[in-house]
Chain A
Amino acid sequence: DQQVKQNSPSLSVQEGRISILNCDYTNSMFDYFLWYKKYPAEGPTFLISISSIKDKNEDGRFTVFLNKSAKHLSLHIVPSQPGDSAVYFCAAPAYNFNKFYFGSGTKLNVKP
């Protein structure tokens, strides 16, 4: 049973507009979440994280929002750029950090 879910396999956005990528989780014990970005033929790279004590974390054009009651987080990219075109994974570590659970990914295409 997937503990972290990304229900949108793909998203297409015009350059300069906002991209919103969504992620849901089922395990209420998760208290830390990460977003990773992956380009073709490369490994995933860390993008941004959020602790459950916060409901928002911002880093430049990237903002992650956490809604604990809904078990939902989202990644906002504003403004979107063609270089943001990649697959985005959300992830959460187990309580003792000995493993990380990943969603299935959302492929973002930012059109020039």
Chain B
Amino acid sequence: NAGVTQTPKFQVLKTGQSMTLQCAQDMNHNSMYWYRQDPGMGLRLIYYSASEGTTDKGEVPNGYNVSRLNKREFSLRLESAAPSQTSVYFCASSTQGTLNEKLFFGSGTQLSVL
């Protein structure tokens, strides 16, 4: 049972380059999320998708775009990478609005922007 799968695990970019982080879940969850983790800042929400066909900004959306391709897949795109986007990125999914709600996370993508 794969759960939430993220690719790639590591990436190094030069300033100004673009890339897409891929995420897929096989738990039939409605909601999907992208978080970034920075030292001392915890996990901050970039974008989320409450259901297929909808996306919304989180706490730190600037410099990112997302696509909810279908119920399983939610991608995060950096159009012009900046050093401030050096971080660890986590995709997560959940069934929205149920009692005992919880997030399931992927293993993360470590991104360095030089």
Contacts and interface: CB of A to CB of B under 8 A. Distances in A.
A99 B31 CA distance: 9
B43 interface: yes
A11 B101 CA distance: 28
A98 B48 contact: yes
Contacts of A104: 40-42
Contacts of A112: none
Nearest to B97: A97
Nearest to B51: A98
A46 B45 CA distance: 17
A100 to B, nearest CB: 6
Interface residues of B, number: 29
Contacts, number: 66
Contact of A89 (B43, B98, B107): B43
A36 B105 CA distance: 10
A36 B40 CA distance: 16
A49 B43 contact: no
A97 B92 CA distance: 13
Interface residues of A, number: 26
Contacts of A102: 35, 42-44
A70 interface: no
Contacts of B106: 43
Interface string B1-20: 00010000000000000000
B82 to A, nearest CB: 22
Q: Which residue of B42, B92, B105 has the most chain A CB atoms within 10 A of its CB atom?
A: B42
A6 interface: yes
19 contacts: A6-B42, A9-B40, A36-B103, A43-B90, A43-B92, A43-B105, A43-B108, A44-B105, A46-B103, A46-B104, A97-B94, A97-B96, A98-B50, A98-B56, A100-B33, A101-B45, A102-B35, A103-B42, A104-B41
Interface of B: 4, 31, 33, 35, 40-45, 48, 50, 56, 58, 90, 92, 94, 96-98, 100-108
Interface of A: 2, 6, 9, 32, 34, 36, 41-46, 49, 89, 91, 93, 96-105
